[in-house]
Structure 1
Amino acid sequence: MTSDKTGSPWADGPWQLIETPSKTEDTSRHAAVYIANEMAFAHNAMLRGLNALYLQADLSELQDIKDFLFFLRSWAGWVSHHHVLEEEQMFPQLEEVMGKPDFLQGNIDEHHTFQPILKKLLAYGDSRPEDYQASTVRSLIEEMAPVFRNHLANEIPSLLAMEPYDGPALLRVYKECEAEAGKQDKNVIPPMVLGLRDITFEGGNQWPAMPPLSTYFVHYIFARKHAGAWRFLPSDSWGNPRKLEFASS
């Protein structure tokens, strides 16, 4: 886990990020490599969110707690939606393209190792700020994080193993699921995800690829409604890492 220049911890730990395929592979070689790489970046955004929640859980002001609980609920809801989309749409359709039923079943089975705790975190996000206990959030994260991080890492080689199969058809499935994911609340998911990336990671990256000016729309329009919650994000809307405002040194 790295620290900023003040010595405070940052959101690349305590649970370690995942090396992306693009560090060593040409993602244009096959759709499987592209899909695995996109997923690795998304998984790292999830891990930064988990780390940011863990490191900033100690709060005393009611407004800060209220905003933190919204961030917790948003993060847990996003992660839950991601895995439901995989189970119900993406993975079955990828398996259909490959003609390989249960090719990704092991990854689906891993979802059930952390989903019960994820549901508890999601429910805790609805707590009254007056009842908030940092120890509860940290305890739940400590219980979930090892198996969650293990799953996120394991899924990447599974996706890379799709390379022998029909690349264009696999990519169509992925893009359809990406479009479905994009239907989530624009006032919540885009501002949060953009603030969970790090454009300096692995020497520099531009994940996710976005149309010109999209970031400006997210930052100046969509992020405004819940701006208080985005104070807990580890990066600004442009993916530049910043000090965790509420982390203890």
Structure 2
Amino acid sequence: MAKRWADQPFALIKETGILSRKDIPPDHPAVAMAQQMALSHNVILRGMNASFNQCLGVQPGTTEAHDFLLFNQCLFEILQQHHDVEETYMFGEIERLTKIDGIMDQNMQEHKDFHDGLERFRKYVFKTAAGDYDGQTLKAMLEGFGKIVEKHLHNEIPSLLELKDYDVTGLKRISKEAGKKFASAGDKYRHVPLFVGCSDRTFIFDGQNMPFPPLPFFVPYIIRFLFEPRHAGSWRFNPCDSFGQPRPLGFLNPEG
């Protein structure tokens, strides 16, 4: 039996749906927007899975507990920043582009649906001392809001693909600016190592290998030797190495 990894229990997004959509040119910017969003969502899902599948393998009062709590702090921050950019920039720009009031309201509502559960998670991982860490408590929190987050992250992709009927130049502008905002929101010492460490660059998406995030060959070395050392212990929980290559989870929950 294969060991559990960061592809469950929260399902990864494997396609945008473009392969069955003959009405959408494959080079349309709506396709690229949906693909990049799905791949970034998979980073979040892998992070949640890595936390879920290792939370019982971490013992209270240890350096591992301290590092694991920080790992989860960074996971929360990445998820929160991602949705902040969507709410403060991206959704409004899409509404202005399409001239359809409330076109992204369903996505906004889904953010609200998991807000309370995510807030409980935030308080726990930021306020709990290593000596008070309890894996069952964290697991219950992830079970509580995780499936709602999973549903939302999957649902958002088809809505972006349906922007195929709108101004190409406008879509490119929104996508480019959103990408800049996502990138600038992160902390290079807390978020970059986790983001890359949850980005499986071997993943087959839309029927092909689409390494994400796209990085010059030397950037992983910068991440490994400059950004990772400050919180090195926390990246032990990443499901991939500094180069986005999958590796076994180091603190798997006990069986049974």
TM-score of the aligned structures, taking structure 1 as reference length: 0.92
Measure how far apart 1:132 and its partner are.
0.7
Structure 1: distance between partners of 2:124 and 2:26: 41
AA aligned opposite 2:179: E
Structure 1: distance between partners of 2:41 and 2:84: 15
1:13 to 1:23, Cα distance in 2 relative to 1, 3 A: farther
Structure 1: distance between partners of 2:14 and 2:122: 27
> Which ranges of structure 2 fall in alignment gaps of 5 or more residues?
none
* Matching of residues 70-219 of structure 1 within 5 Å: 70-126=70-126, 127-183=128-184, 184-202=186-204, 204-219=209-224
Structure 2: distance between partners of 1:37 and 1:112: 24
Show CA shifts across 1:184-229 (max 9, x none). Answer: 2111211111110112211532111123422221121111111110
Shift >4 Å, 4+ stretches:
25-28
Identical residues among aligned pairs (%): 33
Measure how far apart 1:23 and its partner are.
7.4
AA aligned opposite 1:103: I
1:8 and 2:3 are equivalent in the alignment = yes
* Matching of residues 33-72 of structure 1 within 5 Å: 33-58=31-56, 59-60=58-59, 62-72=62-72
1:27 to 1:247, Cα distance in 2 relative to 1, 3 A: farther
1:210 to 1:117, Cα distance in 2 relative to 1, 3 A: same
Number of residue pairs the alignment of both structures matches: 244
Show CA shifts across 1:108-165 (max 9, x none). Answer: 1111111211111122112111111111100011111111111111000000010100
Structure 2: distance between partners of 1:122 and 1:206: 30
Indicate conservation of the 8 Å contact 1:67/1:229, yes or no.
Answer: yes
Indicate conservation of the 8 Å contact 2:17/2:158, yes or no.
Answer: no
Indicate conservation of the 8 Å contact 1:27/1:37, yes or no.
Answer: no
1:218 to 1:28, Cα distance in 2 relative to 1, 3 A: farther
Indicate conservation of the 8 Å contact 1:21/1:27, yes or no.
Answer: no
Structure 2: distance between partners of 1:169 and 1:210: 25
Measure how far apart 1:20 and its partner are.
2.5
Show CA shifts across 1:20-79 (max 9, x none). Answer: 338737885211111110011111111111010011002115100000000001001110
TM-score of the aligned structures, taking structure 2 as reference length: 0.90
Q: Which residue of 2 aligns with 1:247?
A: 252
Structure 1: distance between partners of 2:105 and 2:97: 15
Structure 2: distance between partners of 1:212 and 1:239: 12
Q: How well do the aligned residues superpose, as a CA RMSD in angstroms? A: 1.8
AA aligned opposite 2:134: Q
